[in-house]
Amino acid sequence: MKQEKFDRQLRLMVLLARNTELSVDDLSEQTGMSRRTIYRYLEAFKDMGFEVEKNGTHYRLGPSSPFFLEISSLIHFTTDEAVTINQVLNSVYNNSPQVRHLRDKLAALYDFDILANHGIDAHIARNLQTLYQAAREERLCLLRGYISHHSGRTDDRLVEPYIFLSGNSEVRCFEVQTRQNKTFKISRAKSVELLDLKWSHKREHTPFYTDLFHFSGENRKRVRLLLGALSASLLREEFPYSEQQMTLQDDGRYLLDTQVCSYKGIARFVLGLYDDIEIYRTPEFKKYLEARVAELAEKIALKKR
């Protein structure tokens, strides 16, 4: 009898600890317990030190309850940590079951509002919250009143959002009408409406990369450079992740082997430190630099006339 009572209490506790709010009728239906029994257990949980949160007629157990904090102290994430993990997961082009499970697990532990409304205004937070849910559940949504600075139009866009970019200020989507993958500024949508329709163009979603120099695109090109001590040091300071892409050579220089979405960013770095950098086995990039240098020389010559 005691074992059965404990099982019921534990089952109720698990339901209340999820990232949802449930009414007493919901809890009664899912546990098979009477409303009276559930009210009695809710009072017992309070007496045990749990934070029983009530919102109207719905209940949940607060995650800051002392018991929860004690048993989860080694695996519990702070809000900032949860937000960071959420941003990393949503910036990765990976819809494998493992990644989807991680996204679902994070969403089950932390409110969408917490994950979306972090350091941004309410309008963007509402849009981001809906887009995040659409991406997580693989559903379509409407970007209502989206303002395009390129065309000057304001209209609705039917999209399948799948990657968040630039610190969650942009979202990569498949636009159904044009059948193209595009990047949308989340702030430019007046509102976002979640639709009860599943993605139907998942195979047409393309990866979208951001390189070491903060340029983005669907394609990448390999560049290899031999860096002297000065250029290697400055690269580490400006782009800390470059450390993982550099290897020390026998002559004391560093080989940078990286993938870039555009030559513009890495060209700026190379031209600024040209006397300390050697282009290594990358003829396409060398031709690009030669063309840029020729253009610059022509501009200088024109100014002297």
Domain of 271, in residue numbers: 210-303
Judge if 88 and 158 occupy the same domain: no
Nearest to 232, CA basis, from 248, 221, 210, 220: 248
Give the Å distances, CA to CA, from 254 to 213, 214, 240, 251.
18, 21, 15, 9
What is the pLDDT at residue 238? 92
What is the pLDDT at residue 109? 58
85-102 in b/e form (b: 16+ CB < 10 A) is bbbebbbeeeeeeeeeeb
State yes or no: pLDDT of 261 exceeds 60. yes
Summarised one tens digit per residue, pLDDT across range 266-289 is 999 999 999 999 999 999 999 999
Judge if 236 and 178 occupy the same domain: no
Judge if 31 and 97 occupy the same domain: no
Strand partners, 58: 23, 55
Judge if 237 and 274 occupy the same domain: yes
State yes or no: pLDDT of 291 exceeds 70. yes
Tokens of 177: 């009408």
What is the pLDDT at residue 92? 61
204, 226, 247 - which closes a domain = 204
State yes or no: pLDDT of 205 exceeds 60. yes
**For all residues of the chain together, what is the average pLDDT?**
84
Structurally, the chain folds into a number of domains equal to 4
Judge if 91 and 153 occupy the same domain: no
Q: What is the dihedral of CA 211, 214, 217, 222, to 10 degrees?
A: -30
Sheet holding 254-260, edge to edge: 246-248, 254-260, 221-227, 277-279
Judge if 280 and 217 occupy the same domain: yes
Lowest mean pLDDT among 100-104, 242-246, 297-301: 100-104
Alpha carbon 206 to its chain centroid, in Å, reads 16
Summarised one tens digit per residue, pLDDT across range 88-146 is 666 566 666 676 667 666 666 555 554 555 455 778 888 988 998 898 889 999 999 99
- Average pLDDT value for residue range 189-194: 96
How far apart CA 268 and CA 266 sit, in angstroms, is 5
Judge if 2 and 20 occupy the same domain: yes
